Structure 1
Amino acid sequence: MSGFARFLLGRRARRRWIHLILGGALAMPYLLLSEVVVGPVFGSRYVFSSLPLQLVAFAAALPLAALTTLFPPTRPMCVAVVRALCDVDGERLADGPARGAAARGRTAAWFTLHLGLGGVVAGMSLAVPPFAGVLIVLPAFVTLRDTRLGLPEILDHTWALALAPVAGVAALVALAGSAALAGLLLAHGAPALLGPAPEERLAAAEARAEDLAVRNRLARELHDSVGHALSAVTLQASAARRVLDTDPRFVREALLAIEETTRRTVGELDAVLSVLRDTDASPTAPAPTLAIDLDGLLHRTRAGEARVTATVECDPGSLSPPVSREAYRIVQEGLSNALRHTDGQVAVALRIAATGTHLEITLENPLRRGTAPRSGGGHGLRGIADRARLLGGTAEAGPVENTWRLHVRLPLEAPA
C-alpha cells in the first residue's frame, strides 16, 4: 500500500507532476493562438463555451508547438528541465542544440508530447480537485445540490448522495494516477527522444578519448620528470650525507646537482601545470630532448655516486623532434627505475644506437640479491610502453639471468 502511495504522491511523482503542469503552461500561448483561428473557421466567437471546439483548438495548437523546436535552445531547455524534475540519468540525455533532421524530429516529438500530456494533466489538475471536493462534502451540505454548481441530477437520490464522497476520493486518485502514469511515460521516453544521436555519441566518445589521451600524456610527463628528479635528488643527498665530513668537494658538487635538478624540474612542472589549467595554453618551456639534454641527464644522475656507463652509437641531433623527446623521457625513466631499485650502488649500462630504420635503447643493471624480479613493472614501465607504442615502436622489460634489462625500439621517423 505504501508503495502505491509513493507511486501516486511520492517525491518523484510530485516532481514529474510539476513537469507536466509546466508543459500545460507552455501550451497555453499556442492554444490561445489556435483559438484565434479555430473560432472563425467554425463560425464561433466563443470557443471556450464549447468543449469540442476547445479540443479542436488544442489539437491544432500542438503542431504550432512543434515548430518551436526549429529554434536551437529548445532541446537544451527541455533537457535541463527533464534532468531537474524527471529523475532521468543525465548521461542518457544529449547536451547542446539538436543537429540534423533526425535529432530535430525527435526533439519536436518530445516537445509536442510534453505539451500535449501536460495540457491534459494541467486541465485535469484545475478541474478535478474542486469537483471532487464538492462531492466529498456534499452529504454534509445537502443544500449544495440546489446551487448553480451544475451537479448531475443523479445526486438527488439518497444512495448516490451517500456514495458521493467515495466518487470524490476516486476522482482524486484517478487524477494522481493519470499524472503519475503520464510522468512515467515522459521519463521513459526522454532518453529516446532527447538522447544523443549516434553521431553525437561518436563525437562525445572522441572528445573523451582525446581528453583521456591528454591526461595520460600529462601523467606520463609528471611521473617521468618529477619521479626521476626525486629519485636523483634522494640519491645525491644520501651520497652527500655519507661523505659530508670527508669530501667537501663532492658535497658541493652534489648540492649543485640537486639545485640544477630541482630548478629544471620546477620549470617542467610549471609547463605541465599550465596545460592542465588551460587546455589552449602552450608549454612555457621546451620539452627536453635526447639531442640537447642527454649529457645533463647523465651528469645529474652520476652526481649521486651512480655509476652509469653510456654508449651512444648514433647522432641524437639527427632524430626527429618527437622521437628525440620520447627517447629522452624513456632514458630518464629507465635510469630512474634502475637507481630506485638498486639504490645507485651498482653499475647501470645504457646503450643508444641506430640500426637501420630504428633507434634502439638498451638499459641494464644487475638485480640485487634477495630482490624479486619486477614482473610487469609499475607506472614507469607502463609509461615507457605507451610512449613506444604511440611512436609505432616496442618496449620490453624483464629479468635476463641476473640482470634487469629494458630494451626499446623506436622508428627514426615518427609516424604522422
Structure 2
Amino acid sequence: MREALRLLFGGRARRRWVHLILGGALAMPYVLVGSLIVGPLTGVNDVFQSLPLQLGSFAVGLPIATATSLFPLTRPLESAAVRALCGIDGDALAHGPAGTRAERARTAAWFTLHLGFGGIIAGMSLAVPPFAVALMVLPLFAGLRHSPLALPGVLGHGWALALSPVAGLAILLALATCAAGCGALLARWAPALLGPTPEDRLAAAEARAADLAVRNRLARELHDSVGHALSAVTLQASAARRVLGSDPEFVREALAAIEETTRRTVGELDAVLGVLRDGDAPGTAPAPTLATDLDGLLRRTRAAGQPVTATVATDPAALPPLVSREAYRIVQEGLSNALKHAGTPVAVRIATADGHLEITVENVLGTARVPRPGGGHGLRGVADRVRLLGGTAQAGPSGDAWRLSVRLPLTTPRTTAPPATAADARPRPLPKGSA
C-alpha cells in the first residue's frame, strides 16, 4: 500500500505531474488558435462552452504545435525540463539543438506528446478535483443535493448518496493514476526521442578522448620538464650546501647551474601551458629537442654532481623534429631517474640503425636514494611517447645495471594525434620486465 501511494503521490510523481501541467500550459496558445479555426467552421462563437468543441480545438492545435517544435531551442529547453522534473539522467538526453531531419522528427514527436498528454492531464487537474471534493462532502450539505453537480437522477437514492464520498476518493485516485502513468510513459520515451543519436555519442566519446589525451600530454610534459629540473636543482643545492665552506668555486658553478636550469624551465613551463591555452599552439619557448639542447641537458645533469658519459653516433640536427623532441624527453627522463634513484655514473648512447633511432640510458645499480612520494610516473610517460611514435621500449635491471632501451622509427606514423578512444589514451605500462 505504501509503495502504491509513493508511486502515485511521491516526490518523483509530483514533479512529473508538474511537468505535465507545464505541457498543458504550453498547449493553451495552440488550443486558442485551434478555437479560431473550429469556431467559424461550426458557427459557434464560444467553443469553450462545449466540451466536444474544446477537444476539437485541442486536436486542431496539436499539429500546429508539431510544426513550431522545429524551432532550434525546442530540444534544449525540453531536455532541461525533463532532466529537472522527470528524473532522467542528463547523459541520456541531448544538450544541443536538433541537427538532422531524424532528430527534428523525434523532437517534434516528443513535443506533441508532451503537449498532448499535458493538455489532457492539466484539464483533468482543473476539473476533476472540485467535482470529486463535492461528491465527498455531498452527504454533509443538503443544499448540494439539488445542484446539477449532484446528478439528482443518480444520487437521489440513499445508497448512492452514502457511496458518493467513496466515489469522490476513487475519482481522485484515478486522476493521480492517470497523471503518474502519463508521467512514467513520457519519462520512458524521453531518452529515445530527446536522447543523443549514435553519432552524437561517438562525437562525445571522441571529444572526451581528445580531452584526456591533452591532459595526459600535459602531465607528461610537466613531469618530464619540471620534474627533471626540480630534481637537478635539489641535488645541485644539496651538493653546494655540503661544500659551502671548502669549495667556493664549486658552489658558484652549482648556483649558476641552478639559475640556468630554473630560467630554462620557466620557458618550458610556459610552452607546456600553451597546450592548455591554445590547444597544441606553442608558448613563448619552443619545446627542446636533441638538436637544440642535448649538450645543455648533459651539462646541467653533470652540474648536479651526476657523472654522465654520452655517445652520440648520429647527427641530432638530421632527425625529424617530432622524433628529436620526444627523444629529448626520453633521455631527460632516463637521466632524471638516475639522479633521483641511483646516484651512480650514467652512460647515454644515441645512434641510428635500420631506420630507427636507438636510445640507451644505463647506470650501475647502486644504493637507491629515498624514493620521492608520488613518483613513479616517468616510465609510463616514456611508454606513452614511444607508443604514439610506433616504437618499442624496455626498462629494468640488466645484470648489475639499470637500462632504459628505446627504439623510435625515423619515419613517424602519418598521424601522431591523440588516440581516438579514452581507453587508448590511458598511459600503458612498459613491456614485461620494465619498471
TM-score range (shorter-chain normalised) is: over 0.9
SS of the counterpart of 1:252? helix
Partners of 2:146 and 2:152 within 8 A in 1: no
- Number of residues paired by the alignment? 409
Residue 110 of structure 1: how far off its partner (Å): 0.8
Q: For residue 132 of structure 1, what is the aligned residue in structure 2?
A: 132
**Structure 1 ranges of 4+ moved more than 4 A:** 277-282
- Distance in 1 (alpha carbons) for counterparts of 2:132 and 2:92: 39
Which amino acid is 1:326 matched to? Answer: E
Residue 39 of structure 1: how far off its partner (Å): 2.5
SS of the counterpart of 1:305? coil
Which amino acid is 1:199 matched to? Answer: E
Residue 152 of structure 1: how far off its partner (Å): 5.0
Residue 281 of structure 1: how far off its partner (Å): 6.0
- Distance in 1 (alpha carbons) for counterparts of 2:310 and 2:357: 15
What is the correspondence of 1:185-224 to structure 2 with a 5 Å cutoff? Answer: 185-224=185-224
The yes-or-no answer on 1:46 pairing with 2:46 is yes
Measured against aligned partners, the alpha-carbon deviations of 1:46-69 in whole angstroms (never above 9, x if no partner) come to 322332222222222222111122
TM-score by length of 1: 0.94
What is the correspondence of 1:326-365 to structure 2 with a 5 Å cutoff? Answer: 326-342=326-342, 344=343, 346-365=344-363
Give the counterpart of 1:406 among 383, 387, 404: 404
What is the correspondence of 1:73-152 to structure 2 with a 5 Å cutoff? Answer: 73-149=73-149, 151-152=151-152
Q: Is the deviation greater in 280-289 or in 316-325?
A: 280-289
- Distance in 1 (alpha carbons) for counterparts of 2:28 and 2:394: 70
Q: For residue 258 of structure 1, what is the aligned residue in structure 2?
A: 258
Measured against aligned partners, the alpha-carbon deviations of 1:100-146 in whole angstroms (never above 9, x if no partner) come to 11111111111111111101110011001111111111111121122
Measured against aligned partners, the alpha-carbon deviations of 1:391-412 in whole angstroms (never above 9, x if no partner) come to 1212111211221111111122
Residue 379 of structure 1: how far off its partner (Å): 1.4
Which amino acid is 1:352 matched to? Answer: I
281 and 158 in structure 1: CA distance in 2 versus 1, 3 angstrom threshold: farther
Residue 282 of structure 1: how far off its partner (Å): 4.2
- Distance in 1 (alpha carbons) for counterparts of 2:262 and 2:398: 34
SS of the counterpart of 1:64? helix
Q: Is the deviation greater in 34-43 or in 306-315?
A: 34-43
Task: Using the aligned pairs only, state the percent identity.
Answer: 71
The yes-or-no answer on 1:225 pairing with 2:225 is yes
Partners of 1:19 and 1:81 within 8 A in 2: yes
What is the correspondence of 1:12-31 to structure 2 with a 5 Å cutoff? Answer: 12-31=12-31
Residue 150 of structure 1: how far off its partner (Å): 6.1
Which amino acid is 1:112 matched to? Answer: T
The yes-or-no answer on 1:62 pairing with 2:69 is no
Q: For residue 180 of structure 2, what is the aligned residue in structure 1?
A: 180
Residue 32 of structure 1: how far off its partner (Å): 1.2
- Distance in 2 (alpha carbons) for counterparts of 1:415 and 1:363: 25
Q: For residue 374 of structure 1, what is the aligned residue in structure 2?
A: none
Residue 5 of structure 1: how far off its partner (Å): 2.0
Which amino acid is 1:408 matched to? Answer: V
Which amino acid is 1:213 matched to? Answer: A
Q: For residue 426 of structure 2, what is the aligned residue in structure 1?
A: none
- Distance in 1 (alpha carbons) for counterparts of 2:287 and 2:189: 51
SS of the counterpart of 1:409? strand
SS of the counterpart of 1:70? coil
Which amino acid is 2:167 matched to? Answer: A
SS of the counterpart of 1:233? helix
- Distance in 1 (alpha carbons) for counterparts of 2:291 and 2:241: 33
The yes-or-no answer on 1:7 pairing with 2:7 is yes
The yes-or-no answer on 1:380 pairing with 2:378 is yes
Measured against aligned partners, the alpha-carbon deviations of 1:189-245 in whole angstroms (never above 9, x if no partner) come to 111111101111111111111111111111110111111112111211221122222
Partners of 1:121 and 1:178 within 8 A in 2: yes
- Distance in 1 (alpha carbons) for counterparts of 2:211 and 2:367: 43
Residue 270 of structure 1: how far off its partner (Å): 2.8
Q: For residue 275 of structure 1, what is the aligned residue in structure 2?
A: 275
RMSD over equivalenced CA pairs, Å: 1.8
SS of the counterpart of 2:69? helix
Residue 174 of structure 1: how far off its partner (Å): 1.4
SS of the counterpart of 1:285? coil
- Distance in 2 (alpha carbons) for counterparts of 1:362 and 1:244: 35
Partners of 1:137 and 1:165 within 8 A in 2: yes
Measured against aligned partners, the alpha-carbon deviations of 1:340-398 in whole angstroms (never above 9, x if no partner) come to 111x2x11110011113111111111223689xxxxx9311111111111112121112
- Distance in 2 (alpha carbons) for counterparts of 1:117 and 1:278: 48
Gaps of 5+ in 1: 372-376
The yes-or-no answer on 1:366 pairing with 2:364 is yes
Which amino acid is 2:94 matched to? Answer: A
